[in-house]
Chain A
Amino acid sequence: MSTAIGPDAAAVPSVDDVPESQPIAWRHRHLLDVDRLSTDELDLIMRTTDAMREVLARPIAKVPALRGRAVTILFYEASTRTRVSFEVAAKNLSADVVNIAASTSSVVKGESLIDTVRTVEALGAQMLVMRHSSSGAPYLAADIFSGSVLNGGDGWHAHPTQALLDLYTMRERMPGGSLAGRKVVILGDLLHSRVARSNIWTLTAAGADLWLCGPATLVRGFEAWANRGAAGRRFHLTTSVDEALRDADVVMALRIQRERMAGGLLPSMREYAARYGLTRERLALARPDALVMHPGPMNEGVEIAPDVAAGPQSVITDQVTNGVAVRMAVLYLLAGTRVPS
């Protein structure tokens, strides 16, 4: 889908102003997935993130853009990194932030998601950031919430802001700021990964030569996607880590969870580490300046060796910093959304 953003498409948003004053219209009320974002829209998010990075570099890293707006962060799954990142992002924009962790709310008493969202709205929320273990849950919330819903991760389905911060981090480090033709590898448990699914959309949109790699049990189902290349975007799939890593420009390792052993998907963590762990020896197959990424939290010594995670090629802490800027950008854009009537 291509959305015409207008003649000002190259303009940099002036994020010190209120979002509604922007000359560039953002046309989506919610950010639920990245599958239907056009390349123009991705570029706008990247430029807005540039502006937010500039804000973060100021002595007082705060702008009044979202002053008086109520942002509720509703997380049904444990998370520190993403929740805090959204909270810092919203506060940097001067929004009023309320945090609800599902374990401490009436959710445990059996209140439905719809009731919870209605309650949050009645309490004044205008923007809702939510994380949920059930794929598609944010769509249910968006159906009844009168403001904007930002998907902070749903089941195995999508993690839009993670994919956007990954894209930003990669573009920032690539000569010319372009991923076109660059070999990007996502390594590990794809089956259960919302990060991988969202990255498929954004990285193929950015023109990357995308490779997915993992043990056969954890890449199952992606063959059909790779071959179809949904919306004309193809990628490669392999169980051979050597084939995947050879001459790669970017290597992103995904977290392996211990539950996968119980499900009969992996023999052992040890075997996974030996066959698929991102070690220094394996990384040597990639280009010498290849970036090392990980969405966190890491199992060091399993999917990534500690010396690789902390090594000179690692941009893992950049991902965290850029995460705040990207989330400021999408909060800002959604706050100024002009949905075509």
Chain B
Amino acid sequence: MTGPAVDLEISRAWLVDPAAGREGPGEIVVRDGVFEAVTWLSGAEADGIGPDGVVIAPGFVDFHVHLREPGNEDAETVATGLAAAAHGGFTTVCAMPNTDPALDEPGVLTQIRAAAAASGSPVELLAHGAVTAGRTGEQLAAIGELADAGVVGFSDDGAPVRSATILRSALAYAGALGLPIVDHAEDASLTGGAEANDGYVATVLGLRGWPTAAEVAAVGRDLAVLADVVRDVPGARLHLTHLSTAGALDLVRAAKAAGLPVTCDVTPHHLGLTDEWLAGARRWAWEAGDDPWSDGALVGPPYDPSLRVNPPLRGRGDAAACLAALLDGTADAVATDHAPHTEVDKAVEFGLASNGISGLETALGILLAAVDAGRLPLLRAIGALTTGPMTLLAGRSRREAAGLVEGTAADLVVFDRSASWAVTPESLASRGKNSPLIGTELRGRVLLTVAGGRIAYEAPDA
């Protein structure tokens, strides 16, 4: 099923290796699926090789994806999700447990592992287990059995862990097993019926406001509970996923400074896009002005349901805070929250559309746009996709490291920063065509993805 171990030589490329903390001209040789040589070039040999051309990086790791199998295979399957991952440069993905049935006991994990094996994809599939049985928020899921079966964390994502009592138990129980609780931080009492980030754009568009306070309040609660638990259970760990607000990131920054065992991730869409896209703007967050109605930014149709996402796209201040959190290490990783949906669930009124953005295949392009704009160093962007999330996995990946390390199985992505690709429904391997970037061009075309020493994706004309 899986293809043969690959032999590969790439000379005169730009290597980016966050594990080694370095980038520069170099060459790689892969023999029989293993990095045989990783050579850094200097002097005359390096002439003419720059970071704006072909780049080789360790294969990306996504701590947060939705693969929809079992239960919603119209939106995505394990096979199509892994194909999307490979097309996006990811060689390890962690599936969220909000399937139907939920991944709240090892049987569902066995099932999706079988689907991954049957797909023939060499992309590594890991999974989070549910915090509560059936994700109903009432009783703990089979946390110990799931830990034994190899999950990488526990999450009721799609919804927050509503009860602070359950959260406290889960942090303690999972923490004693060395696993994190991954919370979707949302105070639902502030978001009933909410459609769009509470602010200027939502007011003008008449969309029901989704306050940043809903996230900040939930993060505050989570951190307070964590501080309480960690006194008795030193192994307790909290990971806050898809943080979208300056307020929540400030709380995490302070909590880390105080020594609490908390980590977090931000998504490409929350750092690259803002709520003005809902009005029809189509520019990056760092290009946004004060008023898209005044500065000619409204070039697309308003109310595009592919922009409906939880948490919602925020204002430019919050987007800048997501980027700043990546730069100063408050955010440990970029995770896509890849959330494929069918057209039936998305081609409806904005307020009725399912939340989520199909994001595995556009993550690199959004981050490279930030790099191109001088907002994010390339090494940090790649680190947020490799070493950052690998640290969150705490040794539960088959990979020893997210680096270009001689003698290890090759997990790598090769992309061309000088080449653009058009995001179209046909160009996406995911069944979820719900990307707001459809119709745009992204820089950084992926030419080759190798996972576990085997080819996961190869551009048709590469």
A: which residues have CB within 8 A of B?
A: 35, 112-114, 132, 134-137, 139-140, 143, 154-158, 194, 197, 221-222, 224-225, 228, 230-232
Contact = CB atoms under 8 A, between A and B. Distances in A.
Nearest to B348: A112
A137 B305 CA distance: 10
Contacts of B195: 135
Contact of A135 (B301, B303, B305): B303
A136 B302 contact: yes
B200 interface: yes
A228 B205 contact: no
Q: Tell me the interface secondary structure of chain A in the complex.
A: helix
Nearest to A225: B203
Given A155-B351, A224-B199, A136 B205 contact: yes
B293 A231 contact: yes
Interface string B145-188: 00000000000000000000000000000000000000000000
A2 B350 CA distance: 29
Contact of A157 (B198, B200, B205, B305): B205
Contacts of A224: 199-200, 203
B348 A140 contact: yes
Contacts of A114: 347-348
A221 B198 contact: yes
Most buried by A among B198, B208, B290, B303: B303
A303 to B, nearest CB: 20
Contacts of B204: 35, 197, 225, 230
Contacts of A221: 198-200, 202-203, 209
Contacts, number: 80
B303 A140 contact: yes
B206 A194 contact: yes
A135 B204 CA distance: 11
B300 to A, nearest CB: 11
A155 B206 contact: yes
A158 B294 contact: no
A194 to B, nearest CB: 6
Contacts of B349: 113, 132, 134, 136-137, 140
Contacts of B350: 134-137, 140
A125 to B, nearest CB: 19
Nearest to B195: A135
A30 to B, nearest CB: 11
B291 interface: yes
B429 interface: no
Contacts of A231: 291, 293-294
A-B pairs, top 5 by smallest CB distance, nearest first, are: A136-B303, A157-B206, A156-B206, A134-B349, A221-B203
A131 B195 CA distance: 19
Nearest to A76: B349
B257 interface: no
Q: Tell me the interface secondary structure of chain B in the complex.
A: loop
Contacts of A35: 204, 293
Contacts of B209: 221
A33 to B, nearest CB: 8
Q: How large is the interface on B (under 10, 10 to 19, 20 to 34, 35 or more residues)?
A: 20 to 34
Nearest to B196: A135
9 contacts: A132-B349, A134-B351, A136-B350, A154-B206, A155-B351, A156-B206, A225-B200, A228-B294, A231-B291
A285 to B, nearest CB: 28
B206 A222 contact: no
Contacts of B352: 134
Most buried by B among A135, A222, A224: A135
B344 interface: yes
A200 B200 CA distance: 14
Contacts of B303: 135-136, 139-140
Given A114-B347, A132-B349, 15 more contacts: A113-B348, A136-B205, A136-B206, A136-B207, A136-B303, A136-B351, A139-B303, A140-B348, A143-B301, A156-B206, A221-B198, A224-B200, A228-B290, A228-B291, A232-B294
Contacts of B291: 228, 230-231
B274 to A, nearest CB: 14
A232 B202 CA distance: 18
B202 to A, nearest CB: 7
Most buried by B among A113, A136, A158, A222: A136
A135 B205 contact: yes
Contacts of A222: 203
Contacts of A228: 200, 290-291, 294
Given A140-B303, A221-B198, A135 B206 contact: yes
Interface string B333-367: 00000000000100111111000000000000000
B78 to A, nearest CB: 28
A153 B208 CA distance: 16
Contacts of B302: 136, 139
Contacts of A135: 195, 205-207, 303, 350-351
A117 to B, nearest CB: 11
A53 B290 CA distance: 42
Contacts of A113: 348-349
A265 to B, nearest CB: 13
A225 B207 CA distance: 14
A143 B208 CA distance: 23
Nearest to B298: A36
A156 B193 CA distance: 13
A274 B168 CA distance: 48
Contacts of A136: 205-207, 302-303, 349-351
